[in-house]
Structure 1
Amino acid sequence: MLRQITPKQWLTLLCVQLCTILFGVTVTSVAVILPQIKGALSATQDQVAWILTLNLVATAAATPLTGWLASKLGWRRLMVGSVLGFTGASVACGTATSLESLLAFRVIQGALGAPIFPMGQAIILAKFERKFHPMAVMMWGVGGVMGPILGPTFGGLVADSLDWRWSFFMILPLGLVACIPTVLALGDEERGTARRFDFVGFAFIAIAIGALQLMFDRGQRLDWFESPEIILECALAVGCLYLFVAHSGTTAAPLFESATFRDRNFVLGIGMAMVMGMLQFTPMVLFPPLLQDLRGYPESIVGYLIAMRGVGNFLSFLVVAPLTRWNPQATLAAGLLIQAGAAAWMGVLDMNMTFEQVLWTNLLHGFGFGLAYTPMAVLAFSTLEPRLLTQGNAIFSLLRMLGSSLFIAVTLVVFVRSSAEAHSSLAALITMFDARSLSLWIERFGDLDTPLLHGRLGEEIRRQAAMIGYINAFNLLAIVPFLVAPAVLMFRLRR
């Protein structure tokens, strides 16, 4: 089968692989250095999470533009422009001197890099015949998975040896290298086929996405619907989403063609893409602060451990293509259940977790994600008209990124709230009237009146409460794929 692939197709594959590596390295390297940024910029746990979530929101909000931009500029101009803009914004992130400026640069980075992923997948599906799709998506994934391997590894090493800023600066040579095959492999495909752009529809969907994310991110700090801001954001999200649907049904040239949503497999596929987005980045947000704050691991070791997700992805590619050709539904279900099992394993970790346990849970979760992604993409686009592929991939990526940003916000709410509740419960159990529970502490640190004893007890209660919060977040991560797995039976197989 490999002999049937032309040199031009190999070059195209290399082009989208390098662009996807660039995107993946940036996302995963930032996840590792969040604790260092937190200290350098004097940010809280909730504030530093915005560095990742706002980038995802900006990417999601700008993704609907991909189809129109491709038809206006053509593949080559759009991809080269996105790669160069994304790279420039990454360098700007490294120069940030405050949390506010870093967040602004991350939003720009997300918006400019938004077309990279959907265009890469659309190009692969368009350039290869349908019978080659499992193999082509898998081979593209081999390149794409290098991002989750290289990002945490080099990001952690660079941050450990130099500074967190160099994790952004190292993106510059990668971006310049990615432009070379992009210029050689791509042409002006789709250029000049643009319809009238639906600015009103785009404004509605962008506002809805932004308001929804803000509501989830700020709800915990503002006591949810006790806050006028949260009520306003909820109203904006619901209202603009309704207006977008109503507008799309009445305008002559909607942002997304209605034919796209009449395809059953595609509608199921974008729902599954949202779930996969929920599962993709959440462990990368939870593990770095857990390992550094509660276990004292340096960034370099954390980077190696998080990179195990990428190794798991890579191992899944050894089997995913033949399994997808044999039965894509069963392969997708197996991938989801493996992720559920890995997250459940994470949920039984405790303060005495070993290096090996963290390594194997991340590797297994990455293997499950890689095993599920290829059949999910193949099933989602197996019956979609070829002319709708670019637009369909934009919607696919939009839902995947939105799922990531929203679920990260939800898991952080679970973490913060359950940690606070656990802290109150644990603190209530420690009293001076229960000498037996304090005997070992008194023996080591002195009498009850000793400030050192009080300080150590308070710190240990904080650590144990935080661990309970992480465990609850991991349990939520396990429930989602387990509940969704039966839905794979609803896909129709193309004969």
Structure 2
Amino acid sequence: MQTPAAPLNRRMITLSIMLATLMQTLDSTIANVALPHMQGTLSASQDEISWVLTSYIVAAAIATPLTGWLAARLGVKRLLAVAVSGFTVASLLCGLSETLAQIVGARLLQGLFGAALVPLSQSILLDINPRDKQPQAIAIWGVGVMVGPILGPTLGGWLTDSYNWRWVFLINLPIGAFALFGVLTYLPRSKPSARQALDFFGFITLSLAIGALQAMLDRGQQLDWFGSLEIRIEAAVALVSFVFFALHTATAGKGSFFRYELLKDGNFVTGTCFIFVIGAVMYATRALLPPMLEALMGYPVATTGLVTAPSGVGTMVAMLIAGRLVGRMDVRMMLLAGFLVSAVALYQMMGYTLVLSESDIVWPGVIQGVGLGFVFVPLSAVTFATLAPELRADGTAIFSLMRNIGSSIGISVIQAQVTRNTQVVHASLVEHMNPANAALVQNYDLSSPTALESLNRMVTQQASMIAYVDAFKLMFIATLCVVPLLAIVRSRRRAAGEDAPHVAMD
């Protein structure tokens, strides 16, 4: 029996799954600022405490591709309920942890259960809304996906300073409880489909490839990249596993873990490639500002959160506007506007110096947030416009996975670039610091260790600032280079017989 979701149910379902999405996206960044406090409580070294973040990222990356298969076997409602309840219980275990092993294990569980939340929420919103309302639904979903990671450090800093680091995880309990109640009460039950048994070889090889890649990207900067044996091993495992997965997928046919039918939809393939590029180019900039403000400007964590959070407001407003514009104007024009607005923000950031007012930080962030909002909504809409409903769970999982991998690669590359450029610029500036420099000798006593230390600190600050400006310049150029790729994007085509998506009911 096919029954459309009632309007009241649609609102409550949206609220419930958005709470679940927000809970998961907040946890991708909320624990970052609490790591020093955890380190002391758990008696862990800096290298050991980083696994609190790495374990979550790797577990979520490995489990994300399973979303479609699990949704087909268990049904969307049952899988979502298991994911929300499991994530909430894992959050409680994180908050109660007394040892490093306990919290790393609980974070692994968080990543495994939370992996399905974002792709399932996107798939459900597409299923319960008629086609003309899907862009607005995607806009609402995008607010949770984009704003959660931005607000995470701010909320995490406040909870850690006002209470303690355990509340960074315990805050999920009431959110998870409300989300679970809404899912169990309002979400219709979907019948499991008779999908083939799990392709274990395909899943294992893909999991190894993704897990090793994510671990390499997350720990590469800390371990000096390929100068570390661990990074070389992870790179080799990722490469070999992916080659085996690709060969297996090409020869296994319909028995493959990967739904090859996804590759037949041109909109989906183009959109997925684009979200990977956007993740690498536009998300990386978000990772530059907090360390720059805290290390160079001396901003406390809470202040850093306050001046970077308005970019989330820009994203939210832009997404809601873009959701109403999709279908009324060419999506390529909206994407072009989004990229150009983002380029304007990056151009402003290229003028940063060590002397900045808070407005110098807030407004470029708001502008960049607006640009990201005008890119994300139309791209999501066109990606799933012609995808068959039975492929949405798999499609949204791959879409989320590619966005996450793209952002991980972009962040790792740009952070490595900043570190390298800081060293290069520092060496270049130091070349001029010698007794032959009359201006230097007049202002500094080069025979005094204190003066030399002060001089080195100033040079390091200047070198770091130049490196950050160069990184913004690189992102500016990369954003403009993406614009010609819009030529391969096709406007959304209406699929026959899909004007009003329905949810199967038992």
TM-score (norm 1): 0.89
SS in structure 2 of the partner of residue 353 of structure 1: coil
SS in structure 1 of the partner of residue 309 of structure 2: helix
Paired letter, 1:291: L
6-15 vs 283-292, greater mean Cα deviation: 283-292
Paired letter, 2:347: A
Residues 220 and 412, structure 2, Cα contact 8 Å, conserved in 1: no
User: Residue 355 and residue 37 in structure 1: after superposition, are their counterparts in 2 closer, same or farther (change >3 A)?
Assistant: farther
User: Residue 480 and residue 37 in structure 1: after superposition, are their counterparts in 2 closer, same or farther (change >3 A)?
Assistant: farther
Q: Distance in 1 between matches of 2:331 and 2:59?
A: 32
**1:275 partnered with 2:277:** yes
Q: Distance in 2 between matches of 1:64 and 1:360?
A: 37
**1:487 partnered with 2:490:** no
Per-residue CA shift, 1:208-262, capped at 9, x if unaligned? 1223334445555666556655444333222221211221122241112211111
Q: CA deviation at 1:303?
A: 1.3
**1:295 partnered with 2:297:** yes
User: Residue 124 and residue 207 in structure 1: after superposition, are their counterparts in 2 closer, same or farther (change >3 A)?
Assistant: same
Matches within 5 A, 1:279-358: 279=281, 281-325=283-327, 326-358=329-361
Q: Distance in 2 between matches of 1:416 and 1:404?
A: 18
Q: CA deviation at 1:135?
A: 1.8
Matches within 5 A, 1:332-411: 332-411=335-414
Residues 53 and 408, structure 1, Cα contact 8 Å, conserved in 2: no
- Tell me which of 247, 253, 256 is aligned to 1:254: 256
SS in structure 2 of the partner of residue 414 of structure 1: helix
Q: Mark the runs of 5 or more structure 2 residues left unpaired by the alignment.
A: 495-506
327-336 vs 116-125, greater mean Cα deviation: 327-336
Residues 57 and 214, structure 2, Cα contact 8 Å, conserved in 1: no
Per-residue CA shift, 1:159-212, capped at 9, x if unaligned? 333344432332222222222211112233142433211111111111112233
Matches within 5 A, 1:19-98: 19-33=20-34, 52=53, 55-94=56-95
Q: Distance in 2 between matches of 1:371 and 1:418?
A: 32
Q: Distance in 2 between matches of 1:303 and 1:223?
A: 28
SS in structure 2 of the partner of residue 300 of structure 1: helix
Q: CA deviation at 1:450?
A: 2.7
Q: CA deviation at 1:408?
A: 1.7
Q: Distance in 1 between matches of 2:206 and 2:466?
A: 37
Q: CA deviation at 1:337?
A: 2.6
Per-residue CA shift, 1:366-412, capped at 9, x if unaligned? 11111111101111111111111111111111111111222222122
**1:118 partnered with 2:119:** yes
TM-score (norm 2): 0.87
Residues 275 and 480, structure 1, Cα contact 8 Å, conserved in 2: no
Comparing both structures, which one devotes a greater share of its residues to helix? Answer: 1
User: Residue 492 and residue 202 in structure 1: after superposition, are their counterparts in 2 closer, same or farther (change >3 A)?
Assistant: same
Number of residue pairs the alignment of both structures matches: 486
Residues 334 and 371, structure 1, Cα contact 8 Å, conserved in 2: yes
Q: CA deviation at 1:114?
A: 0.5
Q: Distance in 1 between matches of 2:81 and 2:282?
A: 26
Residues 223 and 231, structure 2, Cα contact 8 Å, conserved in 1: yes
Q: Distance in 2 between matches of 1:187 and 1:437?
A: 74
Per-residue CA shift, 1:318-368, capped at 9, x if unaligned? 421232222212112221232233233223312112211111122112111
- Tell me which of 446, 471, 492 is aligned to 1:448: 446
User: Residue 230 and residue 156 in structure 1: after superposition, are their counterparts in 2 closer, same or farther (change >3 A)?
Assistant: closer
Per-residue CA shift, 1:437-461, capped at 9, x if unaligned? 2433x3xxxx333332122112222
Residues 154 and 301, structure 2, Cα contact 8 Å, conserved in 1: no
User: Residue 58 and residue 426 in structure 1: after superposition, are their counterparts in 2 closer, same or farther (change >3 A)?
Assistant: farther
User: Residue 88 and residue 472 in structure 1: after superposition, are their counterparts in 2 closer, same or farther (change >3 A)?
Assistant: farther
User: Residue 423 and residue 49 in structure 1: after superposition, are their counterparts in 2 closer, same or farther (change >3 A)?
Assistant: farther
112-121 vs 296-305, greater mean Cα deviation: 296-305
User: Residue 202 and residue 480 in structure 1: after superposition, are their counterparts in 2 closer, same or farther (change >3 A)?
Assistant: farther
Give me the identity figure in percent: 36
Paired letter, 1:24: T
The equivalent of 1:470 in structure 2 is 468
SS in structure 2 of the partner of residue 319 of structure 1: helix
Q: Distance in 2 between matches of 1:273 and 1:36?
A: 35
The equivalent of 1:109 in structure 2 is 110
Residues 152 and 307, structure 1, Cα contact 8 Å, conserved in 2: no
The equivalent of 2:203 in structure 1 is 202
The equivalent of 2:498 in structure 1 is none
Q: CA RMSD in A?
A: 2.9
Q: Mark the runs of 5 or more structure 1 residues left unpaired by the alignment.
A: none
User: Residue 108 and residue 309 in structure 1: after superposition, are their counterparts in 2 closer, same or farther (change >3 A)?
Assistant: farther
SS in structure 1 of the partner of residue 431 of structure 2: helix
Residues 93 and 105, structure 1, Cα contact 8 Å, conserved in 2: yes
Q: Distance in 2 between matches of 1:94 and 1:229?
A: 30
User: Residue 147 and residue 418 in structure 1: after superposition, are their counterparts in 2 closer, same or farther (change >3 A)?
Assistant: same
Q: Distance in 1 between matches of 2:289 and 2:48?
A: 17
The equivalent of 1:170 in structure 2 is 171
User: Residue 211 and residue 256 in structure 1: after superposition, are their counterparts in 2 closer, same or farther (change >3 A)?
Assistant: same
471-480 vs 362-371, greater mean Cα deviation: 471-480
Q: Distance in 2 between matches of 1:59 and 1:133?
A: 26
User: Residue 255 and residue 365 in structure 1: after superposition, are their counterparts in 2 closer, same or farther (change >3 A)?
Assistant: same
